[in-house]
Chain A
Amino acid sequence: MLRILDIYGNLLLTAMGQTLLLALCGLFFACIIGLIVGLMSVVKNKLCNFIAVVFVDLIRGVPMIVLAYFIYFGVPYLLNTIMGLGGVMLTALQAGTICLALNCGAYMAEIIRAGIESVDRGQMEAARSVGLPYWRAMQRVVLPQAIRTMIPSIINQFIITLKDTSILSVIGFPELVNTAKNVVANTFMSFQTWAIVAVMYLAVITLLSRFAKSMERRLKHGH
């Protein structure tokens, strides 16, 4: 175990860095997608509602590994070979980010929709009754209340997304699992290597959950 850490420790730490980088990129765009799709599902517009439902159902209905293969191999093949555009290439980081953003974004949209719907309808009505336009009322009155109920679920989704980066080892992104596979291939010490990897994930995620708990407590007590 120590020998592995000695030789491959830095490599695994770098890989953890790559994992975090991928997770952060994915989460950043997931938040944007989630907010847009979440809002689309609550506005009074049938077309927006429909698009939001289709998006969420589509992404939820496809395993992420299939989505990853599709984006990394399928989409460039469609553009280059079938449509004859040529030269379209995605790096593993780009494809991975898109994949995480879509996948996590769909779940975030559901969290945001549920959060907004949990705010009493009277809050929006009161805000409109004093003359605030819809989006202003949303921004000043409804969303701040919705976010309070959404925070625990959002952090939970962050943790899931962080773990889901491991799936993107299949498209060759040098994150932790992919790197660990290489280490095992070189050393044959699979027990030791995977134990180290597990502990690394555990450490990061424990930190995140702790943070989530303290955040939750603060939101419960404060205003």
Chain B
Amino acid sequence: MAINKDNVKIHVEHLKKNFGRLEVLKDVSTDIYEGEVVVIIGPSGSGKSTFLRCMNRLENITGGTVVVDGYDITDKKVDINKVRENVGMVFQHFNLFNNMNVLRNLTLAPVDLKKADKASAEENAKKLLERVGLADKALAFPAQLSGGQKQRVAIARALAMNPNIMLFDEPTSALDPEMVGEVLEVMKELAREGMTMIIVTHEMGFAREVADRVLFMDGGYIIEEGTPDEVFSHPQNARTKDFLNKVL
């Protein structure tokens, strides 16, 4: 799917984030376009997860501007819950609701937020489960699933709100190696369908394959960005080169 350069889905300008005195994000600016798949790489502690979590304000933003879908989420008057309905998020540790079965995990938000009645939400949920290959797990509880299955349910849960942006925070880092593939496969499928995706990951092969653009972060800044080929094969910055030497 083509990237629509006319439609900026997320506009980030001079974003700053401090935890107490610790400056995690110092000055981050970028635009993310409709249909674009952006992969963020960088050493741990570089601020990439924090950056991602600022985009649906799971972290309070210290300074700068973040505009998501036309809403300035740094503005306290903006209803962040409404914005979040359109921004799905997938976590490293899945965070499925442990007190509900898989189906209810998917239908809770749509039904509670009156996006759909129970019957149509369940119908939609079953379709999504089929899409991630887990149609038979609708009535299972999270504790009964493998890591890979949990993460695929988590993706389906995020999709159940029918978002137009998806955030992935190291979605395969907590998985056993043999389960990484099944999760990446679902993500690739999403990317092919034209979803706007921002992915923090250590899977460099995956990044190279699906990313339209790669951001390399270090020390609270975006140090380098470009197509996968530019960043992985011809890195310009010394720190990028150093990092890639260690991980590739």
Contact = CB atoms under 8 A, between A and B. Distances in A.
A132 B161 CA distance: 11
Nearest to B57: A128
Contact of A126 (B87, B95, B101): B95
A122 B95 contact: yes
Contacts of B81: 128, 131-133
B96 A126 contact: yes
Interface stretch (A29-37, A95-103, A138-146): A138-146
Contacts of B93: 120, 122
Given A123-B98, A140-B108, A145-B98, A129 B113 contact: no
B99 A131 contact: no
A126 B141 CA distance: 16
Interface in A105-161: 120, 122-123, 125-133, 136, 140-141, 144-145, 148
B50 interface: no
Contact of B82 (A120, A126, A131): A131
B95 A130 contact: no
Given A130-B158, A130-B161, A131-B82, A123 B109 contact: no
A140 B91 contact: no
Contacts of A126: 89, 91, 95-97, 154, 157
Contacts of A129: 56, 58, 84, 87-89, 91, 158
B141 A223 contact: yes
Nearest to A133: B81
Nearest to A144: B99
Given A131-B84, A133-B81, A125 B112 contact: no
B89 A223 contact: no
A117 to B, nearest CB: 16
A128 B91 CA distance: 12
A131 B85 contact: yes
A1 to B, nearest CB: 51
B84 A123 contact: no
Interface in A58-115: none
Contacts of B101: 223
Classify chain B's interface size.
20 to 34
Interface string A39-53: 000000000000000
A133 B83 CA distance: 12
Contacts, number: 70
A120 B87 CA distance: 22
A130 B82 CA distance: 9
Contacts of B85: 130-131
Nearest to A121: B95
Contacts of A122: 91, 93-95
A128 B99 contact: no
A148 B141 CA distance: 16
A216 B108 CA distance: 27
B97 A127 contact: yes
A131 B97 contact: no
Given A125-B58, A140-B108, A130 B84 contact: yes
Nearest to B113: A131
Given A130-B157, A132-B112, A123 B97 contact: yes
Contacts of A120: 93, 95
A128 B84 contact: yes
Contacts of A145: 98-99
Nearest to A147: B99
Contacts of B96: 126
Nearest to B85: A131
A144 B99 CA distance: 7
Nearest to B86: A131
B109 A141 contact: no
Contacts of A144: 99
A130 B109 contact: yes
A132 B109 contact: yes
Interface of B: 56, 58, 81-82, 84-85, 87-89, 91, 93-99, 101, 108-109, 112-113, 141, 154, 157-158, 160-161
Shortest beta-carbon contacts, A-B, top 4: A126-B95, A122-B95, A131-B85, A130-B109
11 contacts: A123-B95, A128-B81, A129-B91, A129-B158, A130-B85, A130-B88, A130-B89, A130-B160, A131-B109, A136-B112, A141-B97
Interface of A: 120, 122-123, 125-133, 136, 140-141, 144-145, 148, 223
